Amino acid sequence: MPSSFPVKSARFLFAAILLTGITFQLLRLKFRMFDSIPVRTNFNAEEIVRAERLFYGLAYPAERSVNCVKCHNTRQSDTLNWNPDALEISRNYLNKSPDDLSGVLLRPKGKKMAEVHKGFQLTNEDVVLIKAFMTGLLTLD
């Protein structure tokens, strides 16, 4: 009678590979691993308007909305605000990639920032557009 060892081993190996692949995909989605956000420099008028709407929290329904301007001023203010303004962030991220900005927005390291940014849902394109909007603020400064 032939041994079932090779069949059981093959099944186990197949299950292990399948579980590894599923685990990898889940981690990749959760932490955006290995998803490099493309760097773009040219934006049409519609994209610029969408970028501004994203920053002001007007692009998505309320439950998914991210209102950056709530904490990050886009103009000089005489009111004390502990948060960096959009211009300061723009200067800091001007020569950095959208991946870098995405990391700070979606996986912040600081305790308070992680608390405030918890639940943010931004697509790669959203991050690129927000970066474009903030970069555009520098030209107005």
- CA–CA separation, 37 and 43 (whole Å): 15
Digit-coded pLDDT (tens) for 43-97: 899 999 999 999 999 998 877 888 999 889 888 777 777 888 888 999 999 999 9
The pair of structure tokens assigned to 33 is: 């691993």
Total number of domains constituting the chain: 2
Same-domain status, 92 and 54: yes
Higher pLDDT, 4 or 94: 94
Region 118-140 average pLDDT: 90
* φ, ψ of residue 108 in degrees (nearest 5): -65, 150
Same-domain status, 102 and 44: yes
Same-domain status, 69 and 27: no
- Count the Cβ atoms, other than its own, within 10 Å of residue 75: 11
Residue 40 CA: distances (Å) to CA of 44, 47, 78, 79, 140: 11, 12, 34, 34, 20
Same-domain status, 27 and 63: no
Digit-coded pLDDT (tens) for 35-53: 577 778 888 999 999 999 9
Same-domain status, 4 and 72: no
Domain encompassing residue 101: 37-140
Task: Count how many residues are written for the chain.
Answer: 141
Same-domain status, 42 and 14: no
Model's pTM, two decimal places? Answer: 0.69
